[in-house]
Amino acid sequence: MLCFIRLVNILLEKKLSINTAKRKLCILGSTGSIGENTLDVVRLHPEKYDVVSLSAHASVDKIFQQCLAFKPQHVVLVSKPHAQQLKILLADENLNDIVVESGTDALIELAKSSKVDTVMAAIVGAAGLMPTLTAVKAGKRVLLANKEALVTSGAIFIDAMKNSDALLLPIDSEHNAIFQSLPWQEQQRVGECQLSKSGISKIILTGSGGPFRTWQADELEHVTPEQACAHPNWAMGRKISVDSATMMNKGLEFIEAKWLFNVAADDIQVVLHPQSTIHSMVQYQDGSVIAQMGNPDMRTPIAHALAYPERIESGVAPLDFFTTASFDFQAVDYQKYPNLKLAIEACKMGQAACTALNAANEIAVAAFLDEVIKFTDIYKINETSVKKFVSEQVSNINEVISLDKRAREFASSILPNFTIKSVSVNVKEQEL
């Protein structure tokens, strides 16, 4: 019996790369909310993690401070002028050993570098697809915080993972909660799960309902960007905050869950849970429901994925059952959240609908944040774009890139039908 246990442990160590050596981290999108929270967890465990490389789009000041704190070997700022600024700042601190590069090609190289074994994929939006896919193809341990990678490419992404030695671990609090609630054997086959064979009947995604949960649908037309970004529970970037307010974020998570856990859309249910204490649940055929709970803090799923299958301190206070508010659950009002309904429909329609939806939504949200369109126009632009491209065929990554570009151009072309002021929208900023 002891020999058998020893053999199992050896096999697990090989599969999960459990060892005493420091993990070599690459953090894609280090200056965003997920990236900063990842570094917060790393600070607690300097003996376990070595930050080898960092990337950002143009946040010079933030990534400079990160360089001072963690001394990475390699940094990529997509924007060339901002990369030059960073070089000057590092030279002033005698940190000339840190290699600084710019451009999307450099970002791709960073993701597959042989110097790293773990990649935190935290770039916001579709711009994160190619570096994340590259990390998967390179067989890295990929901590997936970029849901758009799966939304835009679906089966293409999963097939790449199947054909590599990559280990994919979900970071979104909902998908991480589902992952933790699965039997061990299902945790080992993300993208290829067979949940029904493990006695699972349904995945339950929880959502807070955002800042407008108690509002009436007819009150949403005059929502401001400041109101939309004021999430009651989570501290997030502006784009994700708006997506949470429209519940498009939950819609994208719905599509991501389909691919991560290999389930049909009809086997996923969305439930409003205002407290954001239960992060998601798994319902079993015998009537049992297993949930993952905790305070709403992204450092918890980050720490889980960083250390998996072990557990480490995250810096998050344990859930106090004596002070926690009661748990409330509500059905989704799709009249108030039409973007969520549209995303669920797109999930059933196929890949083209999902790719077009994500592209259009990024354009529409950017326009709303610039106060070009109304909050309620986000849905109108998204719906029109999905209808435009739903019949397209998407079978490889080049077709994904092409459709993403055309959907962005189309969504931008119809903005004048909704504009409340004349402001140019950067169509290409988030292109694949």
Domains and CATH numbers, the chain: 11-170 (3.40.50.720), 194-294+317-341 (no CATH), 350-419 (1.10.1740.10)
Neighbouring C-alpha atoms within 13 Å toward the C-beta of 153 = 29
- Coil/strand/helix, residue 98: coil
420 or 279: which leads in pLDDT: 279
For residue 5 the two structure tokens come to: 């246990």
Predicted pLDDT of residue 11: 47
With 60 as the cut, is the pLDDT of residue 118 above it?
yes
With 90 as the cut, is the pLDDT of residue 17 above it?
no
Predicted pLDDT of residue 126: 85
How sure is the predictor about 20, in pLDDT bands with cuts at 50, 70 and 90?
low
Predicted pLDDT of residue 419: 82
Mean of the per-residue pLDDT values for the chain? 92
With 90 as the cut, is the pLDDT of residue 125 above it?
no
With 90 as the cut, is the pLDDT of residue 425 above it?
no
With 50 as the cut, is the pLDDT of residue 333 above it?
yes
Distance CA 304, CA 41 (A): 10
With 70 as the cut, is the pLDDT of residue 85 above it?
yes
Answer yes or no: are the C-beta atoms of 110 and 131 closer than 8 Å: yes
pLDDT in tens, 136-191: 999 999 999 999 999 999 999 999 999 999 999 999 999 999 999 999 999 999 99
pTM: 0.90
Amino acid, res. 212: F
Predicted pLDDT of residue 16: 54
Tell me the mean pLDDT in the region 268-288: 96
Distance CA 243, CA 255 (A): 14
Beta strand 278-284 with 118-121 is unpaired
Place of tokens 């077709």: 399
Computed on alpha carbons and rounded to an integer, the radius of gyration of the chain in Å comes to 21
With 60 as the cut, is the pLDDT of residue 299 above it?
yes
Tell me the mean pLDDT in the region 374-396: 97
With 60 as the cut, is the pLDDT of residue 431 above it?
no
Tell me the mean pLDDT in the region 75-94: 97
Tell me the mean pLDDT in the region 218-226: 91
Predicted pLDDT of residue 9: 47
How sure is the predictor about 232, in pLDDT bands with cuts at 50, 70 and 90?
confident
Distance CA 371, CA 365 (A): 10
> What's the CA dihedral at 148, 283, 204, 355 to 10 degrees?
30
Nearest alpha-carbon partner for 297 in 23, 36, 24: 36
How sure is the predictor about 428, in pLDDT bands with cuts at 50, 70 and 90?
very low
